[in-house]
Chain A
Amino acid sequence: MNNLGSMYRFEVRKIVCRKITAIAMIAVVLLMVAMSIGEHVSGAKIVNKEELVLVGRAIDDKMLDEMRAAVEPKTITMDDGTQIAVGIGVNDPAYQPLMDYLTTIGGNIDKAYNMTEADLDKRFGSVIDEIIQDQHLTASEVDYWQSKRAQSQMPLLYGKIQNGWGDSVCIMYFVAILSMISIATTLSGVFSDEAQLHTDALIFSSRNGKKRLAAAKLLAGITVGIFETLVVLLACVGTEFVISGFDGGDASVQFFVGPTDMDMKISTAFWIYTGIMLVIGLLMSVFAMCLSQVFRNSVAVIASMMVLWLISMLNPPYSWRLISQACSYLPVTFLGGWTFSDYRMVHLFGRLFTILETAPVVYLVFTAILGGLTKISYERYQVTK
Chain B
Amino acid sequence: MELVLDRVSKQYQNIIAADRITLKLGVGVTGLLGANGAGKTTLMRMICGILKPTSGSISFDGTDVSEELYRDALGYLPQNFGYYPSFTGRDFLLYIAVLKGLDKKTAKRKSTELLKSVNLEEAADKKIRTYSGGMKQRLGIAQALLNDPRIIVLDEPTAGLDPKERVRFRNMIAELGKESVVLLSTHIVSDVEHIADRILMMRDGQIIWDGTKENTPDDLEGFYLKEFGGAEDE
Partners in one complex: yes
Interface residues of A (CB under 8 A from B): 1-3, 6-7, 10, 14, 17-18, 194, 197-210, 213, 382-384
Contacts known (A6-B104, A204-B50); A197 close to B83, Cβ less than 8 A: yes
Residues of B within 8 A of A2 (CB): 101
Tally of contact residues, B, Cβ under 8 A: 29
Contact with A along B84-113 (1 / 0, CB 8 A): 101000000001101111111000000000
Q: Is B208 an interface residue (CB 8 A)?
A: no
Query: Which 9 residue pairs are nearest across A and B when measured between Cβ atoms?
Result: A198-B82, A199-B82, A206-B99, A201-B78, A383-B50, A207-B101, A204-B50, A198-B80, A205-B48
Contact of A198 among B51, B81, B98, B99 (CB under 8 A): B81
Q: Please name all residues of chain A whose beta carbon is closer than 8 Å to the beta carbon of B100 when the two chains form the complex.
A: 206-208
B9 within 8 Å of A by Cβ?
no
Docked-complex contact A6 and B76, CB < 8 angstroms = no
Contact B103 A206 (CB under 8 A): no
**B143: Cβ under 8 A from any A Cβ:** yes
Instruction: Give every chain A residue within 8 A of B96 (Cβ-Cβ).
Output: 202, 206
Instruction: Check A17/B86 contact, CB under 8 A, given A202-B96, A206-B100.
Output: yes
Residues of A contacting B: mostly: loop
Other A-B pairs, 15, CB within 8 Å; known A14-B86, A18-B86: A3-B102, A10-B98, A14-B84, A197-B82, A197-B84, A198-B80, A198-B81, A200-B50, A200-B82, A201-B50, A201-B80, A206-B99, A207-B72, A207-B100, A207-B147
- Asked if residues B83 and A382 are in contact (CB atoms below 8 Å), the reply is no
Known A-B contacts A14-B84, A199-B82, A201-B82; the reply to A3 vs B51 at CB < 8 A is no
- Whether the Cβ atoms of B78 and A208 lie closer than 8 Å is no
A198–B95 CB distance below 8 A: no
Instruction: Decide yes or no whether B56 CB sits under 8 A from chain A.
Output: no
Which residue of the partner chain, among A17, A197, A203, A382, contacts B99 with CB atoms under 8 Å?
Answer: A203
Taking a contact as CB atoms under 8 Å apart, the answer to whether B82 and A205 are in contact is no
Residue pair A202, B98 in contact (C-beta under 8 Å): no
Contact of A204 among B49, B72, B81, B83 (CB under 8 A): B49
Instruction: Report the Cα distance A208→B102, complex, angstroms.
Output: 10
Closest chain B residue to A207, Cβ basis: B101
* Distance of A7 Cα from B78 Cα, bound (Å): 21
Q: Hey, which chain A residues are within 8 Å of B138, CB to CB?
A: none
Q: Give chain A nearest CB distance to B185 CB in angstroms.
A: 14
Q: Closest chain B residue to A9 by CB distance?
A: B98
**CB-based contact B101/A201 at 8 Å:** no
How many residue pairs link A and B with beta carbons under 8 A? The number is 83
Residues of chain B in range 8-29 having any CB-CB distance to chain A below 8 Å: none
Are B98 and A6 neighbours in the complex by a CB distance under 8 Å? yes
The answer, yes or no, to whether B45 is at the interface (CB within 8 Å) is yes
B76 touches A382 (CB 8 A): no
Whether A10 and B95, one on each chain, are in contact in the complex, defined by CB atoms closer than 8 angstroms, is yes
Q: Are A209 and B99 in contact (CB under 8 A)?
A: yes
Residues of B within 8 A of A198 (CB): 78, 80-82
Which residues of the other chain, A, contact B81 by a CB distance below 8 angstroms? 198, 202
B74 interface contact, C-beta 8 A:
yes
B71 within 8 A of A: yes
Determine the distance from Cα of A213 to Cα of B68 in the docked complex, in whole angstroms: 13
Can you list, as one digit per residue, whether each of B114-131 has a CB less than 8 Å from chain A (1) or not (0)?
000000000000000000
Chain B residue nearest to A209 in the complex (CB) = B99
Partner of B143, one of A6, A202, A208: A202
Closest residue of chain B to A11 (Cβ to Cβ) is B95
In the docked arrangement, what's the CA distance between A213 and B101, Å? 11
Distance A210 CA – B99 CA, assembled complex (angstroms)? 9
CB of B84 within 8 A of CB of A199, answer yes
Complex Cα–Cα for A18 and B85 (A): 10
Complex interface: chain B residues within 8 A of A200 (CB)? 50, 82
Give Cα A6–Cα B99 distance, bound, in whole angstroms.
9
Shortest CB-to-CB span from A204 to chain B, Å, is 4
Contacts of A208 in B (CB 8 A): 98-101
Q: CA A206 – CA B68 in complex, angstroms?
A: 8
**Is A205 a contact partner of B50 (Cβ separation < 8 A)?**
yes
Tell whether, in the assembled complex, residue B51 and residue A210 are in contact, meaning their CB atoms are under 8 Å apart: no
B7 interface residue (CB < 8 Å to A)? no
Residue pair B52, A382 in contact (C-beta under 8 Å): yes
- Asked whether A7 and B99 contact (CB < 8 A) given A200-B82, A202-B82, the answer is yes
- Per the 8 Å Cβ criterion, residues 44-62 of B in contact with A are 45, 48-52
In angstroms, how far is the closest chain B Cβ from the Cβ of A332? 31
Residue of B nearest to A208 (CB): B99
User: Contact at B71–A210, with CB atoms within 8 Å?
Assistant: yes
Task: Name B71's contact: one of A1, A199, A207 (CB within 8 Å).
Answer: A207
- Residue from the set B50, B52, B80, B86 with the largest chain A CB neighbour count within 10 Å: B50
Chain A hits for B98, CB < 8 A: 3, 6-7, 10, 208
Tell me which residues across on chain B come within 8 A of A207, comparing CB atoms.
68, 71-72, 99-101, 147
Q: A3: which B residues are within 8 A, CB to CB?
A: 98-99, 101-102
Docked-complex contact A205 and B76, CB < 8 angstroms: yes
A1 in contact with B101 (CB, 8 Å) = yes
